[in-house]
Amino acid sequence: MKADNNHIQQAIIAREIIDLYRDSPDKYKVAESLSSLCFVMARLTGCDKVDYPTIDWDDLASNFDGIATSQDSDVSSIRKIENDIASTYKKSLKIIKQQLS
């Protein structure tokens, strides 16, 4: 079953946002901005109003906020957050791949 256009566009946006974070030399600073972008995406998509959103933008915003406000010594916390972000990345790739098949 192919994903609808809205799902695909959200998946692409999520993938690009996560790539920006991964490619950034200053992860704390970029995480702060990405948190704001994800928060706005949550409001635009209404992801808080459905049980299973395409991309849980509130969770992604919270993850980036957690990184932005963390200390350098919070290595294990940051790793856990990055694992959560990686899960969202994998989900977005799966949605995009479904469209291509």
Using the predicted structure, report yes or no on whether residue 27 has a pLDDT greater than 80: yes
**What is the reported pLDDT for 1?**
44
| pLDDT band at residue 11 using 50, 70 and 90 as cut-offs | very high
Contact 67, 76 (CB under 8 A): no
Following CA atoms 51, 36, 60, 96 in sequence, which dihedral angle do they give, to the nearest 10 degrees? Answer: 90
Q: Rounded to whole angstroms, how far apart are CA atoms 58 and 12? A: 17
How is the chain split into domains, by residue range? Answer: 5-100
Neighbour count for residue 16 (Cβ, 10 Å): 11
pTM of the full structure: 0.87
**CA angle 99-52-84, nearest 5°?**
85
Q: Rounded to whole angstroms, how far apart are CA atoms 18 and 16? A: 5
Using the predicted structure, report yes or no on whether residue 71 has a pLDDT greater than 50: yes
